[in-house]
Amino acid sequence: MRIAIIGNSGSGKSTLARQLGGVHALPVLDLDTVVWEHGRVAILRSPADAAADVRAFCDRHDHWVIEGCYGNLTRVVLERSPVLLFLEPGVDVCLANARNRPWEPHKYASKKEQDERLELLLAWVEEYYARTDSLSLADHQALFDGYQGNKLLLAQQPDRCFIEAQPLRWFGDEAVGLGPRFEACSISAKSWTHAAHLTVGLWHIDRYGREEALARLRMGIRRLNESHGSVNSATAGYHETITAAYVELLAQFLERRAQGESLGNTVERLLGGPLAARNVLLAFYSRERLMSVDARAAWVEPDLAPLDLSAGADMTSTV
C-alpha cells in the first residue's frame, strides 16, 4: 500500500495518515519533518535535500503513507504511483482544526511555543485559497487533476469504515496477503478489522473450500485473539455462528465470481458491496438470537431468512 495525502494545514492530513498507518501497519512520513531544519523553527532545508530524504524514505519502505501540504514534494512522491488523497473540507474546518491542534513536538520545543505562533498559522490557513505557490489550493488542484493514478477528493474526514476497508479495496492483490499473515498469527489487534476478517475468510474459502476453511478459521481466530491478549469465552472472543454464517455467505459470493477474476479483484468487489456491511447478518438473524451465548458456542440456524444470497434478503438497511 502506498498512499499520498495533500491538502491545507488543518485539513486533517496528519490525523488521517496516523489512522491509516495504525490500522494497516504502514510507516508514516510527515513532510514537515524533511522540509524544516530539525529543532529550528521556520528554518527551511534545501529543496534538493528534502526531496532526497523523501526518495530515501520510499526506498526504505515498500508500503507507506506520506502526507503534507507541499505540492512539489508530493510530486516526488507521485513518482511511486500511490493512491492520492486530496483533503479539502473548507476554510472553516481547517481553521477550527488549527485552533484545536495538539502539541506537535516534532515541530515545536513546547506547547507554549506552538501557541505563540497560532495567529500566523491561522493566517496561513486562510491564505491557502489565494496563494499560487506549491502550498496553495490552486497548485494542489492542478496536481490532483493532472495525476493519472488512483485518486480521491475528500471534503470531510473519512470515517472508520473508510479507513479500515478502502485501502484493502485499492490494493486488493496485496490485501490477500492477510491470509498467510493470519495463518502466521502476525496480524495486529488494530489491523484485525471487520474488513480484514472478510478478506481472510474469502482467502481461506478460495484456498481450502467451505469445510476446511471453517475449521481453520475456527482455530485461527481463537489463536489470534489469544495472541492479542483477548479471552475466548462464553461471552467474548470467538463466535461460532457468526464465523460459520460468514463462511457460507462468502462461499456463495465466490461461486458468483466471473471466470478468470483475480482474488484481489474479488476482494475489491466484496468490500465495496452490501456483504461488507458490519451488521449484514441481521438480515438473517434477530440480534437477540445472533448474540446469544448459545450462538457464540455452537451453530444456530437463522430465524429471519435463510443464508442464501440469491433469495433476495434485504442487506441494504444494515450498511
Is the pLDDT assigned to residue 210 strictly greater than 70? Answer: yes
pLDDT of 152-188, one tens digit each? 999 999 999 999 999 999 999 999 999 999 999 999 9
Q: Which amino acid is at 171?
A: F
Q: How confident is the prediction for the chain on average, in pLDDT? A: 93
Runs of H (alpha helix) within the chain: 13-24, 32-35, 47-60, 71-77, 91-99, 111-116, 118-127, 137-146, 160-170, 172-175, 178-183, 194-208, 210-227, 240-255, 263-271, 287-290, 293-297
Mean pLDDT value of segment 121-147: 96
Mean pLDDT value of segment 219-226: 97
Q: To which residue does cell 514534494 refer?
A: 73
Handedness of CA 235, 165, 91, 34 (dihedral sign): positive
pLDDT of 45-73, one tens digit each? 999 999 999 999 999 999 999 999 999 99
- Identify the pLDDT of residue 315: 55
Residues constituting the chain: 319
Q: Which of 62, 59, 35 is nearest to 47 (CA)?
A: 35
Helix crossing, 194-208 with 210-227: angle to 10°?
Answer: 140
pTM listed for this prediction = 0.86
For residue 202, give every residue at least 6 positions away whose Cβ sits within 8 Å of its Cβ, in sequence order, or none: 250, 253, 254, 263, 266, 267, 270
Q: How confident is the model at residue 114 (pLDDT cuts 50, 70, 90)?
A: confident
For residue 252, what is the DSSP state? H
Mean pLDDT value of segment 222-244: 96
- Identify the pLDDT of residue 256: 94
For residue 201, give every residue at least 6 positions away whose Cβ sits within 8 Å of its Cβ, in sequence order, or none: 213, 217, 243, 246, 247, 250
The CA-based diameter of the chain, rounded to the nearest angstrom, is 67
Q: How confident is the model at residue 39 (pLDDT cuts 50, 70, 90)?
A: low
Q: How confident is the model at residue 316 (pLDDT cuts 50, 70, 90)?
A: very low
